[in-house]
Structures are given as structure tokens and as C-alpha cells.
């Protein structure tokens, strides 16, 4: 798994998680900090943003 979270100071509010060998059937949840509940992430096919920076 690779987590891509842009710097909030630069206005980045979205983040992505590349779950290797993931599929639309994969269930991935996230929680920010130790407070609050877990949220389900939406499957969106695409190229890992970190991989794009290496090319």
C-alpha cells in the first residue's frame, strides 16, 4: 500500500491510497487522527501519483 497525501499548506485536501493488487471488490477505510469514525474510500482506477513523479 502507498499513501499519497499532498501538503495541506499547499491547499491539498485530497489523498489517495494505492492498494497493490486492489480491485473494485477491495474494501479500504481510513481515519484521520485518533478521533472520529472510519470512512470507506472509493475505488478509482488510475496511476499512482508517486509513480508519476518517478517517470
Question: What confidence tens digit (pLDDT) does each residue in 9-43 have?
Answer: 565 578 888 898 889 999 999 988 898 899 999 99
DSSP track, 3-41 = EE---GGGT----EEE-TT--TT---EE-SSSSS--EEP
Range 40-51 average pLDDT: 87
Question: How confident is the model at residue 55, as a pLDDT?
Answer: 65
**Higher-pLDDT residue of 6, 43:** 43
Q: Is 51 helix (H, G, I), strand (E, B) or coil?
A: helix
Question: How confident is the model at residue 32, as a pLDDT?
Answer: 83
Amino acid at each position: 500500500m502507498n499513501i499519497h497525501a499532498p501538503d495541506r499548506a499547499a491547499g491539498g485536501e485530497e489523498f489517495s491510497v494505492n492498494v497493490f493488487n486492489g480491485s473494485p471488490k477491495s474494501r479500504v477505510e481510513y481515519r484521520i487522527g485518533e478521533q472520529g469514525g472510519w470512512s470507506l474510500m472509493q475505488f478509482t482506477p488510475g496511476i499512482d501519483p508517486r509513480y508519476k513523479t518517478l517517470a
